[in-house]
Structures are given as C-alpha cells and as structure tokens.
Structure 1
Amino acid sequence: MRVVTDIPHPEIKITLFAWNGKYLLKLELGPFEQTYKVSEMDVDGGDGEIKRWIDEAFLQSCIELFLAMRTNWNETRRRNEY
C-alpha cells in the first residue's frame, strides 16, 4: 500500500492510499476510522478527482458518522460493563 497524499483538515486526518488497483480514502478522528474504496478504473481524473469529491457536505456527513460511531461504542461499553 502506498500513500498518495495527505489531505489537510483541521479536525480529521485524511490520507489517500493506492493499493491493488484501488484508491483508499481513510479518515481518522480520535480512535475511529472510516475507509472508502474506489477502483482506479472508476476515477478518470486520478487522485485529483478524488480530492474534489472531499467537499464540505461529504466531510460534514463523515463527522456526523464519527459522532454516531462514538455513541455506538459508548453505548455498548455501558451495556456490557460489569
């Protein structure tokens, strides 16, 4: 797996990888990760096209998903603590 680029963002660590004919877009916030995979064949503009897809609406949805992930994790811990 090779790092194509790091994409700066004030809250989220965003890394674009190339691996096995796919681009992997990895977003990290605290202990949580989201990974989006897309075939290199489906991206006409290379990594520049993927960077354009990372718009404000996408990032806001990702942040909301991170918050939901944290809630899910905290709830299962609370339910299963002894």
Structure 2
Amino acid sequence: MRVVDEFQKEDVRVSIFSWNNKYLIKFELGPMEQTFKVSEMDVLDEKDLGSFYQGDFFDQVKLRFKEMGKCLQNQIESM
C-alpha cells in the first residue's frame, strides 16, 4: 500500500492510499471513518483526486459524519 497524501481539512483527517489498482480515500472524524474505493482507471491524474475533498462530495461526507455521530450517541445513550 502506497500513501499518496495525508492532511487535515476542517477537522476531518483525509488519507489517500494506492492499493490493488484502487485509490482508497479515507475520511476520519473522532471515532468514525468513511472509506471510498475508486479504480485507478477512473482517475487520469492523482491531482484529480482533489475533487473528493472539496465541493459537494466533501460536504456530503461531513453531513454523513453528523448523521453517524447522532446514531452513535443515541446507541450509547440507550445502553
């Protein structure tokens, strides 16, 4: 597995790996993570991966984290 890039954006840790002819784009926030696998054949240049951590896609990732956080909190409170 090759590390392509790692950085923090708006409290979200973003890690991009290249493995098995796929890019793994991992977003982490607190105890939660989301990982997307994209075929290397679908990406012409590694610079194009930027579209995954900006704009609508990144906004949806952050929204999903909010939903995940609420779900986790509800489950912990109901134990």
**Gapped regions of structure 2 (runs ≥ 5):** none
Q: What amino acid maps onto 1:55 in structure 2?
A: Q
Aligned residues: 79
Query: Structure 1 vs Structure 2: percent identity of aligned residues?
Result: 35
The C-alpha deviation readout for 1:16-69, integer Å capped at 9, x for no partner, is 100111000000111110101001111122x11111342222221111100100
**Gapped regions of structure 1 (runs ≥ 5):** none
Q: TM-score by structure 2 length?
A: 0.87
Q: SS of the counterpart of 1:44?
A: coil
Q: Structure 2 matches for 1:1-82, cutoff 5 A?
A: 1-45=1-45, 47-79=46-78, 81=79
RMSD of Structure 2 on Structure 1 (CA): 1.4
